[in-house]
Chain A
Amino acid sequence: MTIDRTEVENVAHLARIAIDGDDIVGYTRDLTNILSLVDQMQKTPTDDIEPMAHPLSAKQRLRIDRVTEVNQREHFQKVAPITEAGLYLVPKVIE
């Protein structure tokens, strides 16, 4: 299994990670090597095997739909890079 430069650039875009042109070669090589390791999986037939979501087959717990948390907006926004009037600020999206 090999992955080429264009595919790495596409995946990096999907992951929202900028990669410098100089580094693409290294990532392409490393990802190809990792995918070769991973491809050892394909040798084992698994057609009738049910995928395992939890080792003890635990089910997702549900709870009553009622408010349990108090609003801590100010407390949580103290660690934000930029806020204004209780809102997180990002670059302008709509002109």
Chain B
Amino acid sequence: MHNETIANLSQGLANGEYSSVELTQYFLDRIKRLDARYNSFITITEETAIAQAKAADAMRASGNARSFTGVPIAHKDIFCTNGIKTSCGSKMLDNFIAPYDATVVDNFNNHGAILLGKLNMDEFAMGSSNETSFYGPVKNPWDTGCVPGGSSGGSAAAVAARLVPGATGTDTGGSIRQPASMCGISGLKPTYGRVSRWGMIAFASSLDQAGPLARTAEDCAYMLNVMAGFDDKDSTSLDKDVPDYTGQLNNSLEGLRIGLPKEFFSADLDTEIAASIQAAISEYQKLGATIKEISLPHSGLSVPAYYVIAPAECSSNLSRFDGVRFGYRCQSPESLEDLYKRTRSEGFGPEVKRRILIGTYALSSGYYDAYYLKAQKLRRLIRDDFVNAFDSVDVILGPTSPSTAFPLGEKTSDPISMYLADIFTISTNLAGLPAMAIPCGPVNGKPVGMHLIGNYFDEARLLNIAHQYQQVTGWHQQTPDGIE
């Protein structure tokens, strides 16, 4: 059952091949037996899952089942889950039992989906390797000596190891797509404003967006159907009709115009990754697509601009963690200032502190124009590059990550080298565009992901483009060695 897609599991439940209780117990047993190898779960919600599965079976018996009724999933531990620990991968929230559900969580609950647990992640989603988690690093199922990518590393590893058929993630600079790429699965970051951020613990509010991670594009479409939609409780949610994301999956790609940014295919690109991407481009040509070289001249400014905007917004968002209302509090504070300072010093890990300090510096008196304002101006140039490109192409294709999964510990002592792991993904967050990573072949036994960037609200088309590729290739069906 663990090799079945969400689409098949949903069908199996509908056909009465198994009950949700049976399916849920099967995955719970699997997680308990195997996850010690990967460390992908922070919390396993067994009691909740079984209770939800019973309710889902009753929902089906009464004729009210929906596409996700009875299907098990897991949430990144950044989404608040009522009555369930929500740690955000941090010591700061190790004791935090969320008092309400995030809208994304609520949406899955309303569909009758089953929550198997909460997934490991980089602390406050700040990282590209899942090594900044308070709960220890996640191991890549393809090579447990390597990172799974981050920050949604637990989500990607759990899906790749067949511990869960689909998982939620969040993406601020590549945190869905880069781990999806490194773990050989499919992941989608929707248009900014498409999925509610309510109850999703904030890192950089102008960039954060939730999305699905699953083995196939079709499964991502099923998940996005549940996740997407206007939410009055999120002031940046966009009120726009939600299509059926499975509706366009089978459309022909005849005449599709694919743009290849020359900046993403420079001489620096790893030759084997480049070869994988080239092979994917050839497949698309066979499917009827035309290829055009394009330019995104300001894309090189993405990483510098991002490392102002994201830390600036993080320093503001994380000021709420003060040891007073919830979360960690230091022992025996001598004064209010001591309470704040020691709580935050002891509760946050080094990478989170680095980013708070950078952000505080960038926003401090006298520096605002040189840093935050400058970055917001560059952000417009980066966005305008994409807008211009989409005048002549339907989708932009490139690599998701400059390397395959790297060894644990390789980049932890050098923050800059870690930041550059997101060099191809960050620009789409700055521009607010939707983008997908899907597997396009291994290099030296480790997965490579191609990156597909769509125009605003073009998620259905991205999913169509990814799905058509997955109809003629088998990379998404490959299983890591040693997966039972």
Residues of A participating in the B interface, judged by any CB pair closer than 8 Å: 3, 7-8, 11-12, 14-19, 27, 30-31, 33-35, 37-42, 44, 46, 49-56, 58, 60-61, 63, 72, 75-76, 78-82, 88, 90-91, 93
* Closest Cβ–Cβ distance, residue A72 to chain B (whole Å): 7
* Closest Cβ–Cβ distance, residue A81 to chain B (whole Å): 4
- Residue total for B at the interface (Cβ-Cβ under 8 A): 69
Q: Which of B69-77, B261-269, B327-335 contacts A (4 or more CB under 8 A)?
A: B327-335
* Closest Cβ–Cβ distance, residue B102 to chain A (whole Å): 16
* Closest Cβ–Cβ distance, residue B315 to chain A (whole Å): 6
- B324 and A91 within 8 A (CB): no
B347-385: which residues lie under 8 A (CB-CB) from chain A? 348, 353-354, 356-358, 360-362, 364, 370-371, 373-381, 383
- A11 and B357 within 8 A (CB): yes
A54 and B304 CA atoms in complex are apart in Å by 19
A-B contact pairs, 20 of them (CB 8 A): A11-B364, A15-B344, A15-B357, A31-B357, A31-B361, A44-B298, A44-B301, A46-B378, A49-B377, A51-B380, A52-B380, A52-B383, A54-B236, A55-B431, A55-B456, A76-B325, A80-B324, A90-B339, A91-B334, A91-B338
The 5 closest A-B pairs by CB, nearest first: A55-B432, A51-B376, A52-B380, A81-B329, A46-B377
Picked from B353, B364, B374, the residue with its CB within 8 Å of the CB of A42 is: B374
Main secondary structure of the interface of A (DSSP, over half): loop
Total A-B pairs in contact (CB under 8 Å)?
160
- A41 and B339 within 8 A (CB): no
From known contacts A16-B341, A49-B380, A91-B339, infer whether A40 and B304 are also in contact, taking CB-CB under 8 Å. Answer: yes
Nearest A residue to B325, CB-CB: A80
* Closest Cβ–Cβ distance, residue A16 to chain B (whole Å): 4
Is B307 located at the chain interface by the 8 A CB criterion?
Answer: yes
A37 and B422 CA atoms in complex are apart in Å by 14
- A81 and B324 within 8 A (CB): yes
* Closest Cβ–Cβ distance, residue A11 to chain B (whole Å): 5
Give the most central of B371, B377, B432: most A CB within 10 Å: B377
Give the most central of A16, A18, A37: most B CB within 10 Å: A16
* Closest Cβ–Cβ distance, residue A12 to chain B (whole Å): 6
- A30 and B378 within 8 A (CB): no
User: Which residues of B have CB within 8 Å of A53?
Assistant: 206, 376
A39 and B340 CA atoms in complex are apart in Å by 31
